[in-house]
A and B are shown apart, each in its own frame.
Chain A
Amino acid sequence: MSAALAQVETHPTAANDVADARHALLHFITCGSVDDGKSTLIGRLLFEANAVPDDVLDTLRTDSAAIGNASGVLDYSLLVDGLQAEREQGITIDVAYRYFATPRRSFIVADTPGHEQYTRNMATGASGADLAIILIDARKGVLPQTRRHSLIVSLVGVRHVVVAINKIDLVGCNEAVVRAIEADYRGAVAALGFEMITVIPVSARNGDNIARHSELTPWYDGPTLLGWLERVRTDRNVVAAGFAMPVQWVNRPDPDFRGFAGAIASGFIAPGDEVVALPSGVKAKVARIVTFEGDLAAAGAGQAVTLTLDRDIDVSRGDVLISAAASAARAATVRTEIVVQLFVTADRSIGAGDSFIVQVGAATASAQVVEVLHATDVESFARRTAVRLALNDLGHVRLRLDRSLAITPYSVLRELGALILIDRLTNGTAAMGIVAADPAEADGNRVVAFRRAAGRTLEYTMGPQWRQEIAPAATWRLGSAVLLGTIVTIVTGNPAWGLAAALLDAALRPLLRLTHRRIWAVLRQRAHRQRDILSDGGGI
């Protein structure tokens, strides 16, 4: 367990306190098909939260009469359908962000396209979200695109889902219909690992169960949609990764100052802490945490800071400073080959031999696709063999990088496990990807899995530079075992005793070293936990 996680447990934070929830921000995404009434739902939420100013409502009344497709009733979708081209086509083609607040909470809504050809925009909108509203038309039930949207939000790490079953007035507000859709949906997404699925029957057009419980659904005793959004807690599980900060920019205003500016991705840091610069593996201690308001005594995940080090080591944009403590060193590994789950976002296909620029955090490298391992059907979730991945396709590929980068699986640390591939010719973003939890898991290769596990253990005991140190360390180990065996043979006069001693020495000593290191790692973590942390962050 990392120090960061320990802090979460020992200091109940504002998010745990309902009274303070209004300061918490909920970032959610809405997903639905072309005419499930998604824009209407968002417009309705804005309206119910009193987030629509009078002059905008006036414009809405004139616009509803001019373009709207429903007569007499206000067309709330016009509040959110921003671009001219979309208005004419009657569909939302891009991600639009909306901001509103109720007395209890602030919200950022990513309104994303439902149409299949714009699934990439949905993936973009989902990548920052804490929660997803999956919209289902009560008349149609769970559709293939419902499954596609659910898969994509689960891939980018959304753990909380609200299933809004819309247009319930059109099925006579029938409980059996809603329950059947709920059972259907829960079955369809069972494999996706959502933490919480909340099903709410609504009518976005008429406002049923949006902010007030509807008289038409007396059988429904769950929360209203807005009530649930205000209340739901989506605190992300902090995975133990220790301190990590990708360096964005080297700040050198004069020859005496050399600071490394970046946003802390995980853990926390204080002056005196030892860090390792990856991929070089060179160590240094943090001298100062510099900010506009003055130096900080400590800083943690989410803060934008500038660090200075106690000695002049070579660090540039794209390098990652991580805690030298063993736990962090284990989390981030320096790699030139990765297995990535890609989602193709450009109008070109991706296959073996293709070359891209890969961007992870602030680092870029040249990346070549070694092979496409398989594609995943976004509607049936089944894997199939594939040679190339086309626009909106999802699949696993193996990438080889032209230089080593500090990388973690996406499930460990998003900042070092999420990437984009950039097309060299168009400069467009060809794909977004997440680093698979374990390369072996993706292709089922036990040899690779064993090699990785062995690599991690060696890294743990010998540090990130174990590759350079392994040969001298091995000869030294063997040499001393042989020496011990020789001495025992001379003393006892029995070569068998000598051989036994040599073998025992060769096997036991590395094990003792590993145990010794673990004890120290635990002691260091305890010391970290007791350190006092600024509760206000010292930022603003």
Chain B
Amino acid sequence: MIQLTHLQKLEAEAIYIFREAVATSERPVLLYSVGKDSSVLLHLARKAFHPAPPPFPLLHVDTLWEPREIASFRDELVQRLNLDLIIQVNQDGVAAGVNPITSGSRIHTDVMKTVALKQALDAHRFDCAFGGARRDEEKSRAKERIFSHRTPDHRWDPKNQRPEPWRLFNTRKRKGESFRVFPLSNWTELDVWTYIKHERIDVVPLYFAAPRPVVEREGALIVRDDDRMPLLPGEVERIRTVRFRTLGCYPLTGAVASEARTVAEVIAELKSAPVSERQGRLIDHDGAGSMEQKKQEGYF
């Protein structure tokens, strides 16, 4: 018998999930956030359907407040791999002047991410959206199914989830209902990085340590990507060597002080890391159960 390694098993499982979802849905889409998990997800999608290209477009919900490197990395990749990309911006939110500085993290995330995502899913009538979420990220994610059922208004009901015994995914749905599908459910952050190293997958350079303009705010290291973010009284911008473990709107996402400049160094750092991955995300700390609330409302 061929003995598969831990990563080979995870890869085979993800490919299996991709194929099940595509075979049983009409209009699938891959939610591509440009982060490391999305990069792995895209790589697995290309493997699952080879020699055909991935039979679905990519969707990037652009909040207009992500670090500029994200868009440049995305555009280069899409052109190089000849992918079909949809960029969604909530124009109503833009018109209303929603932003993370004056609107606050909760309203900004809701309008520019959650609402924008729903707009795109509705406009294109997508019935299956692949996401790169992992169960080890956050407590409420630990209970989410691999095929997560959503009502026509995109709500998740944590108390009414379908059992997923063995690998039998019940993909039946009514008109208007959809699934969020998470092929990386069983991966850990370390698995993702080990796989990136093994497969030589390109990721945004933001994940690697470099000197960047940093402002310390509420204990988080905020990289000031442009001057739309005003400094508060007493704050000073300093150049520090930092990297990101997770990406998002720059005023809401903390970096970590790090010297890890390569994938191998990131892996070494993770193996001794004393803090959790989502610690840098200010939106998760809005109160106990805040992520679960966002997910019920349709946040990814």
Q: Kindly state whether residue A312 has any CB partner on chain B within 8 Å.
A: no
Contact B139 A82 (CB under 8 A): yes
Which residue of B is nearest A97, CB measured? Answer: B135
Kindly state the interface size class of chain B when it binds its partner.
35 or more
Main secondary structure of the interface of B (DSSP, over half): loop
Bound-complex Cα distance A54 to B256 (A):
14
A98 at the interface (CB under 8 A from B): yes
Given the interface contacts A291-B47, A304-B16, does A420 sit within 8 Å of B165 by beta carbon?
yes
Contact present for A251 and B162 (CB under 8 Å):
no
Q: Are A257 and B51 in contact (CB under 8 A)?
A: yes
- 0/1 interface trace, chain B 91-108, chain A, CB 8 Å (1 if under): 000000000000000000
Q: Which residue of A lies closest to B177 (CB)?
A: A427
Mark out the residues of chain A between 412 and 455 whose CB falls within 8 Å of any chain B CB in the assembled complex.
Answer: 414-415, 418-420, 422, 427-429, 432
- With beta carbons under 8 angstroms apart, the residue of B23, B47, B158, B164 that contacts A248 is B23
Let me know if A56 is at the binding interface, CB within 8 A.
yes
Closest to A9 in B: B1
**Cβ of A127 < 8 Å from any Cβ of B?**
yes
Which residues of B have CB within 8 Å of A24? 6
Give 28 pairs: A residue, B residue, CB < 8 Å, sorted on A. Answer: A13-B1, A15-B3, A82-B140, A83-B289, A87-B288, A98-B136, A98-B142, A101-B188, A106-B6, A128-B166, A156-B165, A257-B51, A261-B49, A268-B1, A299-B2, A301-B2, A302-B4, A304-B16, A345-B163, A362-B23, A414-B166, A415-B166, A428-B162, A432-B165, A537-B2, A537-B4, A540-B7, A540-B11
- Which of A101, A106, A108, A429 counts the most B-chain CB atoms under 10 A from its CB? A429
Question: A96 in the interface, Cβ–Cβ < 8 Å?
Answer: yes
Is A71 part of the contact surface with B, judged by Cβ < 8 Å? no
Other-chain residue from A23, A262, A317 in contact with B6 (beta carbon distance below 8 A) = A23
> For residue B160, which residue of chain A has the nearest CB?
A428
CB pair B276–A359 under 8 Å, yes or no, is no
With most chain B CB atoms within 10 A of its CB, the pick from A14, A251, A259 is: A251
Contact A429 B162 (CB under 8 A): yes
Nearest to A12 among chain B residues (CB) is: B3
Q: How far is the CB of A251 from chain B (nearest CB, A)?
A: 6
The CA of A94 and the CA of B139, in the complex, are separated in Å by 12
Residue B48, interface by CB 8 Å:
yes
Q: Are B9 and A302 in contact (CB under 8 A)?
A: yes
Chain A: minimal CB distance from B31 (Å): 21
Please tell me if B81 contacts chain A, counting CB pairs below 8 Å. no
Give the chain A neighbours of B23 by CB distance below 8 A.
248-249, 317, 362
Alpha-carbon separation in the docked complex, A302 to B289 (Å): 37
In Å, the complex CA distance between A534 and B274 comes to: 39
**Listed stretches A117-125, A140-148, A276-284, A456-464; interface member:** A117-125
Count the A residues whose beta carbon is within 8 Å of the partner chain — how many? 84
Is there an interface contact between A83 and B166, defined as CB atoms closer than 8 Å? no
Task: Note all chain A residues with C-beta closer than 8 A to B47.
Answer: 291-292
Q: Does A336 contact B (CB under 8 A)?
A: no
Nearest CB of chain B from residue A347's CB, rounded to whole Å: 10
Extra contacts, 8 of them, besides A14-B3, A83-B143, A253-B53 (Cβ < 8 A), are: A7-B2, A13-B1, A53-B279, A56-B276, A83-B140, A248-B19, A539-B11, A540-B195
Among A83, A124, A253, A300, contact of B1 (Cβ-Cβ < 8 Å): A300
Q: Which residue of A lies closest to B50 (CB)?
A: A292
Bound complex: CA A97 to CA B5 (Å): 20
In contact, A248 and B20 (Cβ under 8 angstroms): yes
B2-A251 in contact (CB<8A): no
Given the complex, which residues of A lie within 8 Å of B135, measured CB to CB?
Answer: 97, 99
B172, A422: Cβ atoms closer than 8 Å: yes
> Interface readout for B268-291 with A: 1 if CB under 8 Å, 0 if not?
000001111001000000001100
- B12 on the A face (CB < 8 A): yes
Q: Is B246 an interface position by the 8 A CB rule?
A: no
Known A268-B2, A317-B23; contact A94-B48, beta-carbon cutoff 8 A: no
Known A-B contacts A82-B139, A540-B198; the reply to A123 vs B165 at CB < 8 A is yes
| B168: chain A residues within 8 A (beta carbon) | 359, 418-420, 432
